[in-house]
Structure formats: C-alpha cells, structure tokens
Structure 1
C-alpha cells in the first residue's frame, strides 16, 4: 500500500512503463473483482488500484457500509499477484488521483457508462484512455449481500 506521495513518485508521469489504474469500494472482494483486475493488469505493465476510504464508501453506499474497514480492503487487494500498488482515496471519485498518477489506461467495469464518469475529462486531459470491461454475470457485492440476507432468513 502506498500513500499519495509515494504513489506519485513511483507511478507518476516520469515512468517508462504502461500504467493501468482502476478503483472501487471493494467492500467484499469477490471473483468479479478479481476477473476485472486480471484483465486490467493484462492491458499494461503495472496496475494501481484506488480504494475508496470508509467515509467515501458511507457517502456512496449508505450508513451500513463499508462492511470491512479501508485498511482490510486495501490489504486484501495488495496481496493479489496482479496488483502492483493500492492507494486509499478520501474523495467520492478518483479524479485527483487520476490527475496525480496520469495513468495510460483507466479501467472500469461494464456497469459504468462513459457519459456518467465525471473523471473522464481529467483522464483525457492527462492523455489517458478509458477501457470498460464486461462484468462477470451474477458476481457483485450487492448480490452477495442479498444472498447472505436470504440465507440468514432461511429463504433461498
């Protein structure tokens, strides 16, 4: 895991490799996340993952979230072979992190549309490209939470 300054030094614009960036809450790490991370890493030489802070997740997902604290989520991601670095960000979007890292490619899952991404203007201003990868059907944190709730109630 890196703080912003270390990430900027290690992965900033003065690099000689293709940098891929993705971000998310990663509240419950699941196969859908892992598949996207593997595909993202294949697009370049290094993969940096931005993780929403606890406060950011609460603003985006509601008062019951996150289920896991930011440090736990970041450590789980950092342990993956495909991930080169993890950076926690406090804002609701990674716009400032994109501006600092200047990634060659920003990867999002297929549940996003380019026109809904406020970060896109910043990405384009630093010369980056957006790649949207298809999601693995039925693999999401929301689906897992719903299944767990049904199991707790004894229903299927």
Structure 2
C-alpha cells in the first residue's frame, strides 16, 4: 500500500465499517486506547494529546465528531474543515491507528461498542463529565485525564485569525 492508501485505510465513516479491524485487534490482545474530539484546526496541542494518549496502549482509536456534531457543539461557522479533511489529517499521524467519525454530541455509544481498555480526555474534565467513563471502568479499564499543552486552542486560533483582518 502506498502512503495515501495507508492513511485512508485508517478512516472509518462509522462503527460498522471499523468492526472487522476491532475484532482483529481484540483477538491479538492489543490494549485499545480511545480518545475523541473535533480536531477542527489541527495544532500542537492536539499532537501532544495524541502522543500522550497513544502511550497508554498498543492501538489508538480516535473518535472524530462529524460536521453535524461539531456544528451542534460549536455553533454556526464550525467546523472550519470538513470531516473528511479532519479525518485525513488525523489518520496521517503515526500515533493514530484508527479514526471513526460519529454524529452524536458525545461518543458514548461509540465507546459502548468499542469497549476500549483506556479512555483518555483532558484534565479540564471531571471524571463524571467524561462520556463513557462508566463503561470503561465497569469492564476493568482505566480513564486517564491528561494535562493539555497550554497556549493552544482551536477557538483561540479562530479568534486570532478573525482579529487580524
């Protein structure tokens, strides 16, 4: 496979498209790590959090909010980049093993289907605020809250760009 095919092979438009890969990874006893986000304008903070997330296991699965989901969460004018562009950029990163697009506000149903061993979110969230924490803990997994890289925020980047006009 060439590089573009490898990148595209990491992207699943929904859980059913990812199911065979998941089954294979579980058969091989990989420790599965799940994180999620909008990843609208990919920046250093995103890369740092993905590196930290990947360090908790063997396979990093990224749940990506669909365009409709981002619009629900962030309002009109968002996302800046469409879901296919955001998925492609995430999948091009070495530490990311799979990108699954989801339409809901939270990845709760996706987490229920995947049953990851580790769930990772930023430390700004309290445990009870993390979608799917109960699912992961109930199966004996762990929830990791990581420090985010200060000074990086997609919303702040957008504000800076708008003010520079």
Pairing 1:142–2:137 present: no
What residue ranges of structure 1 are gaps of 5+ in the alignment? none
1:45-75 per-position Cα deviation (integer Å, ceiling 9, x unaligned): 0101000011111111111111111111101
TM-score relative to the length of structure 1: 0.91
Contact 2:112-2:132 at 8 Å conserved across structures: no
2:127 is aligned, of 106, 114, 117, to: 114
TM-score relative to the length of structure 2: 0.86
Residues 97-136 of structure 1 aligned to structure 2 (within 5 Å): 97-136=110-149
CA offset at residue 127 of structure 1? 3.0
CA offset at residue 126 of structure 1? 3.4
1:4 is aligned, of 6, 15, 18, to: 15
CA offset at residue 11 of structure 1? 2.0
CA offset at residue 146 of structure 1? 1.6
CA offset at residue 147 of structure 1? 1.4
Corresponding residue pairs, total: 152
Q: CA 1:112 to 1:50, structure 2 compared with 1: closer, same or farther past 3 Å?
A: same
CA offset at residue 14 of structure 1? 4.2
Contact 1:99-1:126 at 8 Å conserved across structures: no
Pairing 1:26–2:39 present: yes
Distance of 1:144 and 1:110 partners within structure 2: 21
Residues 60-75 of structure 1 aligned to structure 2 (within 5 Å): 60-75=73-88
Q: CA 1:33 to 1:125, structure 2 compared with 1: closer, same or farther past 3 Å?
A: same
Question: Which stretch of the first structure deviates more once superposed, 139-148 or 81-90?
Answer: 139-148
CA RMSD of aligned residues (A): 1.4
CA offset at residue 119 of structure 1? 2.3
**Runs in 1 of length 4+ with deviation above 3 angstroms?**
12-15
Contact 2:64-2:99 at 8 Å conserved across structures: yes
Distance of 2:163 and 2:76 partners within structure 1: 21
Distance of 1:127 and 1:145 partners within structure 2: 39
CA offset at residue 21 of structure 1? 0.6
2:68 is aligned, of 31, 51, 55, to: 55
